[in-house]
Structure 1
Amino acid sequence: MKHLAVLNKYFVRYKWRFLLGMLFTAVSVAFNVFQPVLVRQIFDLLEQNLKNYPMISDTGLKEAFRSSFSKSLAFYGVSILGLALLSGFFMFLQRQTLIVMSRYIEYDLKNEVYQHYQRLDLNFFKMNRTGDLMSRITEDVSRVRMYVGPAIMYAARTIIMMVMIIWLMWEVNPMLTLYTLSPLPLLAITIYFVNRVIHKKSERIQSQLSNITSIAQENYSGIRVIKSYVQEEPSARHFEEASEAYKQSSISLAKTDALYQPAMGLMIGLSVIFTIFIGGMQVINGNITVGNLAEFVLYVNMLTFPFFSIGWVASMIQRAAASQQRINEFLDEKPQIKDEPGAIDVTLKGEIHFSNVSFTYPHTGIQALKNFELKIKPGQKIAVIGRTGSGKSTLAQLLIRMYDPQSGQVKMDGEDIRNLKLNSLRMQISYIPQDVFLFSDTISNNIRFGEPTATEETVQQAARQASVEKDILQFPEGFNTIVGERGVTLSGGQKQRVSIARGLIRNPNIMVFDDCLSAVDARTEKEIIGNLYAYLEDKTAIIITHRIFSLFAFDKIIVLDEGKMVESGTHDELIALNGYYAELYARQQTGAEESVNG
Structure 2
Amino acid sequence: MRIFIDLWWFFKQERLKYSFGVIFLVFSSFLSMIPPYVVGILVDDIRTRSLTPLILGKWIVFLIIIGIIYYFTGYVWRQLIFGSSIILANQLRNDLYKHFTKLSPNFFQKRRIGDLMAHATNDINAVQGAAGEGILTLFDSITLGGMVIVTMSVFISWKLTLITLLPMPIMVILTMYYGSLLHKRFGKAQAAFSDLNDKVQENISGVRVIKAFGEEDAQIDMFRKASRDVVDKNIAVAKIDSLFDPTITFIVAFCYFLALIFGSVYVVGGSITLGGLTSFTLYLGQLVWPMLAFGFLFNIVERGSASYDRIRRLLAIKPEITDQEGASDQVPSGAVDFSIRSFRYPGSDSDALNDIHFKVEQGQTLGVVGKTGAGKTTLLRLLLREFDIQDGQISIGGTAIQAVTLDALRSAIGYVPQDHILFSATIAENIAFAKPDASQEEIERVAKLASIHEDILHFKEGYATVVGERGVTLSGGQKQRISIARALLADPELLIFDDSLSAVDARTEVSILHALKHERRNKTTLISAHRLSAVEHADLIIVLGEGQIIERGTHEELIQKEGWYAEMYAHQQLESLVSEGGAKA
Aligning the two structures, in what range does the TM-score lie when normalised by the shorter sequence?
Answer: over 0.9
Task: Indicate which of 477, 489, 512 corresponds to 2:473.
Answer: 489
Which residue of the partner structure matches residue 250 of structure 1? 234
Which residue of the partner structure matches residue 365 of structure 2? 381
Which residue of the partner structure matches residue 21 of structure 2? 21
Deviations 1:171-195 (A, max 9, x none): 1332222111111110011011111
CA 1:472 to 1:133, structure 2 compared with 1: closer, same or farther past 3 Å? Answer: same
Greater shift in the superposed pair: 355-364 or 89-98:
355-364
Q: Distance in 2 between matches of 1:565 and 1:253?
A: 58
CA 1:80 to 1:471, structure 2 compared with 1: closer, same or farther past 3 Å? Answer: same
Q: Is the 8 A contact 2:3 2:304 kept in 1?
A: no
Q: Distance in 2 between matches of 1:587 and 1:362?
A: 36
Which residue of the partner structure matches residue 174 of structure 1? 158
Q: Distance in 1 between matches of 2:225 and 2:503?
A: 38
Q: Is the 8 A contact 2:501 2:534 kept in 1?
A: no
Aligned to 1:16, what secondary structure does the other structure show?
Answer: helix
Q: Which amino acid aligns with 1:144?
A: V
Aligned to 2:353, what secondary structure does the other structure show?
Answer: strand
Which residue of the partner structure matches residue 319 of structure 1? 303
Residue 129, structure 1, aligned to residue 112, structure 2: yes
Deviations 1:523-546 (A, max 9, x none): 111111111111221111111111
Q: Is the 8 A contact 1:131 1:217 kept in 2?
A: yes
Q: Which amino acid aligns with 2:225?
A: E
Which residue of the partner structure matches residue 159 of structure 1? 142
Aligned to 2:115, what secondary structure does the other structure show?
Answer: helix
Which residue of the partner structure matches residue 39 of structure 2? 39
Q: Which amino acid aligns with 2:153?
A: W
Q: Is the 8 A contact 1:360 1:367 kept in 2?
A: yes
Aligned to 1:114, what secondary structure does the other structure show?
Answer: helix
Deviations 1:320-377 (A, max 9, x none): 1111111111111111111111111123223222222422222665632123222222
Which residue of the partner structure matches residue 70 of structure 1? 53
> Once the 2 structures are TM-superposed, how far is the Cα of residue 586 of structure 1 from its aligned partner?
1.2
> Once the 2 structures are TM-superposed, how far is the Cα of residue 318 of structure 1 from its aligned partner?
0.9
Residue 520, structure 1, aligned to residue 504, structure 2: yes
Deviations 1:289-347 (A, max 9, x none): 32322222111111101111211221111111111111111111111111111111123
CA 1:385 to 1:88, structure 2 compared with 1: closer, same or farther past 3 Å? Answer: same
Which residue of the partner structure matches residue 9 of structure 1? 9
Which residue of the partner structure matches residue 317 of structure 2? 333
Q: Which amino acid aligns with 1:21?
A: G
Which residue of the partner structure matches residue 80 of structure 1? 63
Q: Distance in 1 between matches of 2:253 and 2:54?
A: 36
CA 1:367 to 1:116, structure 2 compared with 1: closer, same or farther past 3 Å? Answer: same
Q: Is the 8 A contact 1:44 1:290 kept in 2?
A: yes
Report how many aligned residue pairs link the two structures: 581
Deviations 1:439-468 (A, max 9, x none): 111111111113222111111110111111
Q: Distance in 1 between matches of 2:298 and 2:64?
A: 32
Superposed counterparts of 1:242-391, under 5 Å = 242-362=226-346, 367-391=351-375
Q: Distance in 1 between matches of 2:505 and 2:27?
A: 76
Q: Distance in 2 between matches of 1:365 and 1:225?
A: 33
CA 1:486 to 1:363, structure 2 compared with 1: closer, same or farther past 3 Å? Answer: farther
Aligned to 1:449, what secondary structure does the other structure show?
Answer: helix
Which residue of the partner structure matches residue 56 of structure 1? none
> Once the 2 structures are TM-superposed, how far is the Cα of residue 482 of structure 1 from its aligned partner?
1.5
Deviations 1:95-132 (A, max 9, x none): 12212222222222211111111111111111111111
Greater shift in the superposed pair: 546-555 or 211-220:
546-555
Structure 2 unaligned residues grouped into runs of 5+: none
CA 1:550 to 1:332, structure 2 compared with 1: closer, same or farther past 3 Å? Answer: closer
> Once the 2 structures are TM-superposed, how far is the Cα of residue 72 of structure 1 from its aligned partner?
2.2
Q: Distance in 2 between matches of 1:483 and 1:459?
A: 16
Which residue of the partner structure matches residue 178 of structure 2? 194
Which of structure 1's runs of 4+ aligned residues deviate more than 6 A?
Answer: none
Q: Is the 8 A contact 2:332 2:408 kept in 1?
A: no
Which residue of the partner structure matches residue 118 of structure 1? 101
Q: Which amino acid aligns with 2:289?
A: F
Greater shift in the superposed pair: 143-152 or 428-437:
143-152
Q: Is the 8 A contact 2:333 2:412 kept in 1?
A: no
Superposed counterparts of 1:418-457, under 5 Å = 418-457=402-441
Q: Distance in 1 between matches of 2:187 and 2:346?
A: 29
Aligned to 2:7, what secondary structure does the other structure show?
Answer: helix
Q: Which amino acid aligns with 1:95?
A: R
Aligned to 1:258, what secondary structure does the other structure show?
Answer: helix
Which residue of the partner structure matches residue 81 of structure 2? 98
Q: Is the 8 A contact 1:3 1:328 kept in 2?
A: no
Q: Is the 8 A contact 2:3 2:130 kept in 1?
A: no
Residue 542, structure 1, aligned to residue 516, structure 2: no
Which residue of the partner structure matches residue 140 of structure 1? 123
Aligned to 1:538, what secondary structure does the other structure show?
Answer: coil
Deviations 1:216-244 (A, max 9, x none): 11010000011111111111111111111
Deviations 1:473-526 (A, max 9, x none): 122222111222211222111111111111111112211111100011111111
Q: Distance in 2 between matches of 1:134 and 1:107?
A: 14
Residue 562, structure 1, aligned to residue 549, structure 2: no
Task: Indicate which of 567, 578, 585 corresponds to 1:583.
Answer: 567
Q: Distance in 1 between matches of 2:352 and 2:470?
A: 28
Q: Is the 8 A contact 1:346 1:424 kept in 2?
A: yes
Whose radius of gyration is greater, 1 or 2?
1
Q: Which amino acid aligns with 2:42?
A: I
Q: What is the TM-score of this pair, normalised by structure 1? A: 0.94
Q: Distance in 2 between matches of 1:564 and 1:204?
A: 47
Q: Is the 8 A contact 1:533 1:552 kept in 2?
A: no
Q: What is the TM-score of this pair, normalised by structure 2? A: 0.96
Which residue of the partner structure matches residue 58 of structure 1? none
Q: Distance in 1 between matches of 2:138 and 2:115?
A: 31
> Once the 2 structures are TM-superposed, how far is the Cα of residue 431 of structure 1 from its aligned partner?
1.1
Q: Is the 8 A contact 1:560 1:566 kept in 2?
A: yes
Q: Distance in 1 between matches of 2:67 and 2:441?
A: 67
Structure 1 unaligned residues grouped into runs of 5+: 51-64
